[in-house]
Amino acid sequence: MTNLNFASAHQLAQMIREGQVSAVEVLDAYLAQIAKYNLKLNAICTLDEDNACTRAKFADEALARGENWGVLHGLPITIKDIFETEGLRTTAGYIPLKDYVPQQDATAVARLRAAGAVILGKTNMAELAGDYQSTNSLFPRANNPWNIEYTPGGSSGGSAAAVAAGLSALDLGNDFGGSVRQPAHFCGVYGLKPTDRRISTAGTIPEVPGMRICLRQMMTVGCFARSLEDIRLCFSLIAGADIRRPDVPPIPLDAPSNKSWQNLKIAWIDEWEEVPVSRETKTAMHNVVQKLSQTGVQIERWLPPNFNISNILNLYSRMAAYVNNYAQPKDKYNIRRSLELIFRTATQGDKQLRKLGDFSRFLPELLNPSLKGYFEALTERDRFTAQIDTALEPWDVWLVPVAATPAFTHRPAWSAVDIDGKLYPHAVANGAYTMPFNLSGHPAVVIPIGQTQNGLPMGMQIVGKRWREIEMLAIAQEIDTVINAFRNPSGY
């Protein structure tokens, strides 16, 4: 019989609909996996076992009556603890929210429920989504299922770990600077960051309930899965206009161009010159290019004209400073925590690399923001988006590393990361390859591409054109078939 814990989400949902297995049986398999492994992974921070069991039972009864709730009928899934879930505690790993129980689902959560999903629980994360690890003051740190001494990444580390270890069939995450893509890379699963504003962010923290809606740029909602088919399915369910967020445009999903494989034009780059990647990351990227070249596809090393990563990261940081100034709470605890993180990233790591990731230079704008400065940053962002739109026009997709390194061992928040003997500031090591596409708004999906010598997974971003996610995912599927690098972690 199929291993229920590691079957793909769409396969499981089909099996439930066709009566090959009951929703209760699938849920029981996941609950057993959670009971066995979650204590060491801390991937799931709030388990909703009683309600999930009731919902799964109702799902089976509905099928017996001939009712079909949707394509996810009876499928157990998890939700990152940053999304509001009706009647289920939502904390974002933030102490003042430790007892917060929302009265309404986030829009993306509501759409998955409407498709028949069973919400199994909430997954662990970085406090207020503010780190590339998944530690907070409420729950034990999340650990990487490939090696628990390593971080699963952040801020959606619990999401990626849960999907990788078979604790969940599918998970919902969000991405402001790599929070879906970096954990997917660290945990060896698939992760999607869609086009900016493709999916409603209604009901998403770190805008603590009651605060202004400030994260109107660069914040996206994405998903984690063990197959690209599942990514496409989840995306198609949660994308689209939302009355709660009028700035989400009613743009229909695209259709694949159906170009032949030989007529595709694929660009690739193995590193930004200013931010070298680890030797193993570079080798893995070159292996991908070699495999694809052998199939006859057109593939070429490429970087957009005037692509200056220092200027890009500066602009991203300015934008982040403006929106987070009003999105983040101003209590003493959070201010002190934020200043500690800024200090670490400004003082740790190679001096030259610190210039790329020194957020302290934006303290004046954080402390005294101006409308003029915000509009100037928005205008520069528009120019950058147009620049990348134009540059990508001749290409079907662009292959890019996810981070400068594979997963690293646990460390204090925002501490420097050693890459082949050189210390990289935390934000540079983890965000230099993801932040540019939050800034430009372009979609990207992460697929596994191999493993390090010590058995840690590595992923790669496949970047597509804005509003062309379905085409990007179709091409990613063909690339994934050639590379064939997805593996489940051993021992689960």
Active site residues: 80, 155, 179
Residues near 187 by Cβ (< 8 Å), separated by ≥ 6?
A: 144, 145, 146, 152, 153, 157, 160, 161, 163, 164, 407, 457
Task: Looking at 294-370, list the stretches that DSSP marks H as alpha helix, in order from N- to C-terminal side.
Answer: 309-327, 332-347, 351-357, 363-367
Residue the block writes with tokens 């100034």: 325
Phi/psi at 307 (5° precision): -85, 90
Measured distance CA(445)–CA(464) in Å, rounded: 8
CA dihedral angle for residue 111, residue 128, residue 232, residue 27, rounded to 10 degrees: -70
For residue 404, give the 3-state DSSP assignment: coil
Task: Please list, in sequence order, all residues whose beta carbon lies within 8 angstroms of the beta carbon of residue 407, skipping any fewer than 6 positions away.
Answer: 144, 146, 147, 150, 151, 152, 153, 186, 187, 456, 457
Judge if the upstream peptide bond of residue 415 is cis by omega within 30 degrees of 0.
Answer: no
Burial state string for 222-233 with b = 16 or more CB within 10 A and e = fewer than 16: bbbbbbbbbbbb
If DSSP codes are grouped into helix, strand and coil, which group holds residue 485?
coil
Instruction: Name 423's bridge partners.
Output: 418
Q: What one-letter code names the amino acid at 89?
A: R
How far is 237 from 199, CA to CA, in rounded Å? 10
Residue for token digits 């297995």? 21
Burial of 409 (0-12, 13-18, 19+ CB in 10 A): exposed
